[in-house]
Amino acid sequence: MCVNQDEEHAKVLLRSLSNKTHYVVTAVCLLVPAEMINVEEAARSLSEEGFNFRSMKGVHAFHEKTDVTFGHLDDLTIEAYVATGEPMDKAGGYGIQGIAGSFVRRINGCYYNVVGFPLFRFCSELLKIEGSGRLTKAT
């Protein structure tokens, strides 16, 4: 989904979501500062997993996907919602954390991913990096 350009575009986007399931994907790339990398541990664990640590240089990336199913949106509902101004500058023409949350029949995955950032996954990935020995306390 793209960010809507104007009210008419927002209406088109919302009509395309009515009674359908779409997905939201967020990609995150973490760059670990060199002074925080335990090079020996990282090289050993990554080589065991088949990665080339030298090419990664402290990069850790992941993505989160969430399926969102909308209920039926009639033209009157779409018109009224767009008139609130809420869908402007939002991907897909809606903000799940606002009025549009009432349009969502079902969500499969991380709510915060749809809002804009997969907080739980982010924290889990940080713990994985820290627990792998790839990070050490900064001195």
Given pLDDT bands bounded at 50, 70 and 90, which one contains residue 53? Answer: very low
Secondary structure (DSSP) of 125-139: HHHHHHHTT-B----
Compute the 3-state secondary structure of the chain and give helix, strand, coil in percent, each to the nearest 5.
Answer: 45, 25, 35
Give me the residue spans of the domains in the chain. Answer: 7-131
CB 132 within 8 A of CB 91: no
Q: Can you give the pLDDT at residue 35?
A: 58
CATH architecture for segment(s) 7-131: Alpha-Beta Complex (3.90)
pLDDT, tens digit, for every residue of 79-123? 999 999 999 988 889 999 999 999 999 999 999 999 999 999 999
Given pLDDT bands bounded at 50, 70 and 90, which one contains residue 30? Answer: confident
Return the top range by mean pLDDT from 3-7, 56-60, 81-85: 81-85
